[in-house]
Amino acid sequence: MLPKPSLSEPAMPAVITRGAFSAKAFGFTGKTGGGAVGTVGIFALGYACFLSTTRNKYTFATCTSTSAASASAASYSGSAAGNSTRGIFALGYVCPVGPSTTRNKYTYACCSSTASGVGAASCGSQYGSAAGNSTRGIFALGQVPTTGSTTRNKYTFATCTSTSAASASAASYSGSAAGNSTRGIFALGSNASGSLTTTRNKYTYACCSSTSFNVGAASSYSNYGSAAGNSTRGIFALGNVSGVGLSTTRNKYTYACCTSTATGVGAASAASYGGSAAGNSTRGIFALGYAGVGPSTTRNKYTYACCSSTASGVGAASAASYLGSAASNGTCGVNV
């Protein structure tokens, strides 16, 4: 059985796998990157032996990591999306509240964070995922509060407001997402009954529509993943793979043709699940999360141009953790 935080939280459906174990699910966001070379990624650590308010600022140019403005409350299993000026973090599970509607606005320029005046989620939730472009972030709420949901929210950066958005094709949680300036690709993760899926949805920002038709599926049934991308591709770390467990597998999703492959895609440096990711136009930074014997500080640098990945010379997290989330200021399209 995969490890999970020991908390007094609502009972969750068992994950039915095609292997011999069950797992608790969660979700992470993948960030957009492409229009501008982003400078920093903000990583909310999530669960580090306890619920945490800790965030790290990862600098792409130097591959270094330092402390960043804390979350407004200790939490884990959140999600995040951002544009060139701010990152919006849905906190996820907040003790003793449980699944929360709280979001934080992180401002890159001054490294400040606040929950004040930030559009809340439409209902308490956790284990969601998110992707966005320069004007909006799309948040798949995930588990609401103990079952998978089709609900998505559209967060508008300019006004800090949140409204409903086109629903997922099926109730789900524990997914991941990445996108470019026109679309977000959402890997659903677990369905409502807890079964791992290969399903992905294509969310089109312009018309607020979502479909699972003709969208490249994951290479394996999986959940607990993370994702980051640039203007042409999204890289999905599958996380927990059916029949395998912790995995090093990543998929390359090509937006132009809606295809996906695991061939020729740089693998993670260690088998893991429960990670998070953020990127800019040239690279994605993947925090591995739970790797083998426990929560990890390891991050990998994935280079889009050559589909390579390394843990060498990449700034580590400030503490071993998993079930985190991340956003960056490397957005696609026109920056606001």
Residue 9 has a pLDDT of 39
Whether 6 maps to a domain, the answer reads no
Q: pTM for this one?
A: 0.91
Say what the pLDDT of residue 4 is.
63
Residue 123 belongs to a domain: yes
pLDDT of residue 287 exceeding 50: yes
Q: What is the mean pLDDT of residues 117-126?
A: 98
Q: Is residue 288 part of a domain?
A: yes
Residue 9 located in a structural domain: no
For residue 73, the enclosing domain spans: 30-325
Residue % of the chain over a pLDDT of 70: 87
What would the pLDDT profile of 142-172 be if each residue is shown by its tens digit?
Answer: 999 989 999 999 999 999 999 999 999 999 9
How many domains, the chain?
A: 1
pLDDT category of residue 1 using cuts at 50, 70 and 90 = low
Mean pLDDT of 85-106: 97
At 256, which CATH number? 2.120.10.80
pLDDT tens digits, 212-264? 999 999 999 999 999 999 999 999 999 999 999 999 999 999 999 999 999 99
Task: Please state the three-class secondary structure of the chain as a single string.
Answer: CCCCCCCCCCCCCCCCCCCCCCCCCCCCCEECCCCCCCCEEEEECCECCCEECCEEEEECCCCEEEEECCCCCCEECCEEEECCCEEEEECCEECCCEEECCEEEEECCCCEEECCCCCCCCCCEECCEEEECCCEEEEECCECCCCEECCEEEEECCCCEEEEECCCCCCEECCEEEECCCEEEEECCEECCCCEECCEEEEECCCCEEECCCCCCCCCCEECCEEEECCCEEEEECCEECCCEEECCEEEEECCCCEEECCCCCCCCCCEECCEEEECCCEEEEECCEECCEEECCEEEEECCCCEEECCCCCCCCCCEECCEEEECCCCCCCC
